[in-house]
C-alpha cells in the first residue's frame, strides 16, 4: 500500500467515525450566541403578544439547561445562585466570603454557557461596587464569553435597609447605588448590552430607571419565602402585588418604555406568579429560589427518603 493510499484510508476511517459521533447526543459545548438586537426583538415580540417574560436564576449548568428547555427567556447568573446551589441562603452573598464577580464570571463561563444551546440569553448579575475591578473590563469579559446582558444584583446596596447603621457605613465608604447605576448606563449606552435594573425600594427603583434607563426593570419585593432557606417577611401575595404595582407606576413616569418584571417575597409558586401577572401591569416575572432551590429541596428529599426507606426482603 502506498503512502498516499494509506493516508486516504485513515482519512476515510476518521470521517466515518466523525459522522457516527455527530449523530450521537452530545453536550452543546459550542453555544449559539445571541446579539443584543436579537434579544431585544424576542422580548418585544413577547410584550406585543402579551406573553409573560420569564427570567430565572441558575447556580449550576444542570439547572440552566432545564430552565432553557422549559422555555425560560433569560437565565441569570450571580453569586447568590451559586451559593444556593451549595445549600446556603441567597443572602449569604452579602457576607465577604468570596469575590462575587470572580465567582459569577467563573461559573458562568465554565458551568452555564457550555450547558446551554442559546435558546435563552444569559444575564450576569454583577457587583458594581467591586473596588478591585474596572467594571468596563468586567463587562467586556462578559461579552467575550457570549453574555450580552447584565444586572446590578450581584449584590446590590439596595438590599440593605436604608435606615440602618450598616447602610450609612457602606455608603460613606463609597459603596453606593450610584455605582450600580453607572455600570448599567455604561453597559447599555456604551457597550451595547441588554441591561436589567433591580431595586428593593421605591426610591431606588426611580433612581435606577431615571438615570440608567435599563431595558428591563425588576422590582424586588424581598427574599423569597419557602423551603429550607427561605425567609418569610409576612408579606402576603396581595401585598406583594400592591407594592410591586406601586413601583411599576412610579418608574413608568421616568422611563415609559421599560419592560417590567416582578420578583420575590410571597411569589414562591406558579399560582403566586399568575396572581402577580393578573394583578399588576408588568410584563412578566423573575424566579430564583422558586424554580431552583425549592424544587431541588423537594425532589431530592423525597427521592432520597424513598431510597433510604428500602429494606432487605425476608
Q: Whole-angstrom Cα distance, residue 286 to residue 143?
A: 22
Q: Whole-angstrom Cα distance, residue 176 to residue 253?
A: 24
If we measure between CA atoms, which residue out of 91, 97, 122, 100 comes closest to residue 222? Answer: 91
Domain ranges of the chain: 29-304
Bond before 196 cis per omega within 30 degrees: no
Q: Whole-angstrom Cα distance, residue 218 to residue 196?
A: 7
Please report the pLDDT score of residue 12 as a whole number: 53
pLDDT in tens, the chain (314 residues): 555 555 455 445 544 444 444 455 555 568 889 999 999 999 999 999 999 999 999 999 999 999 999 999 999 998 877 777 666 666 666 666 678 999 999 999 999 999 999 999 999 999 999 999 999 999 999 999 999 999 999 888 998 899 999 999 999 999 999 999 999 999 999 999 999 999 999 999 999 999 999 999 999 987 664 555 555 567 899 999 999 999 999 999 999 999 999 998 789 899 999 999 999 999 999 998 888 888 888 999 999 999 999 999 98
Of the candidate CATH numbers 3.40.50.300, 3.90.1150.180, 3.90.550.10, 3.20.20.70, the domain formed by 29-304 belongs to: 3.20.20.70
Burial class (CB in 10 A: 0-12, 13-18, 19+), 11: exposed
Q: Whole-angstrom Cα distance, residue 238 to residue 232?
A: 14
Please report the pLDDT score of residue 230 as a whole number: 52
Under DSSP, the state recorded for 132 is T
Amino acid at each position: 500500500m502506498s503512502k498516499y493510499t494509506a493516508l486516504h484510508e485513515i482519512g476515510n476511517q476518521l470521517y466515518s467515525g466523525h459522522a457516527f459521533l455527530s449523530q450521537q447526543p452530545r453536550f452543546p459545548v459550542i453555544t449559539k450566541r445571541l446579539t443584543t438586537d436579537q434579544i431585544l426583538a424576542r422580548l418585544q415580540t413577547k410584550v406585543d403578544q402579551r406573553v409573560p417574560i420569564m427570567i430565572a436564576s441558575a447556580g449550576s449548568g444542570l439547572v440552566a439547561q432545564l430552565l432553557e428547555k422549559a422555555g425560560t427567556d433569560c437565565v441569570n447568573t450571580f453569586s447568590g445562585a451559586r451559593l444556593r446551589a451549595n445549600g446556603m441562603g441567597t443572602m449569604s452573598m452579602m457576607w465577604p466570603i468570596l469575590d462575587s464577580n470572580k465567582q459569577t464570571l467563573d461559573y458562568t463561563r465554565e458551568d452555564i454557557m457550555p450547558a446551554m444551546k442559546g435558546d435563552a440569553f444569559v444575564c450576569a448579575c454583577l457587583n458594581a461596587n467591586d473596588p478591585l475591578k474596572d467594571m468596563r473590563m468586567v463587562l467586556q469579559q462578559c461579552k467575550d464569553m457570549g453574555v450580552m446582558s447584565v444586572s446590578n444584583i450581584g449584590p446590590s446596596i439596595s438590599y440593605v435597609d436604608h435606615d440602618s447603621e450598616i447602610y450609612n457605613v457602606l455608603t460613606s465608604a463609597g459603596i453606593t447605588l450610584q455605582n450600580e447605576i453607572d455600570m448599567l448606563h455604561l453597559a447599555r449606552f456604551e457597550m451595547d448590552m441588554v441591561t436589567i435594573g433591580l431595586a428593593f425600594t421605591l426610591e431606588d427603583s426611580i433612581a435606577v430607571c431615571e438615570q440608567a434607563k435599563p431595558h428591563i426593570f425588576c422590582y424586588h419585593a424581598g427574599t423569597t419565602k419557602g423551603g429550607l432557606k427561605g425567609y418569610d417577611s409576612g408579606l402576603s401575595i396581595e401585598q406583594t402585588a400592591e407594592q410591586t404595582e406601586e413601583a411599576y407606576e412610579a418608574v413608568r413616569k421616568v422611563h415609559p418604555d421599560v419592560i417590567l418584571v416582578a420578583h420575590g417575597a410571597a411569589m414562591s409558586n406558579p399560582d403566586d406568579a399568575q396572581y402577580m401577572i393578573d394583578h399588576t401591569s408588568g410584563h412578566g416575572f423573575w424566579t430564583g429560589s422558586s424554580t431552583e432551590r425549592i424544587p431541588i429541596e423537594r425532589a431530592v428529599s423525597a427521592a432520597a427518603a424513598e431510597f433510604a426507606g428500602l429494606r432487605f426482603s425476608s
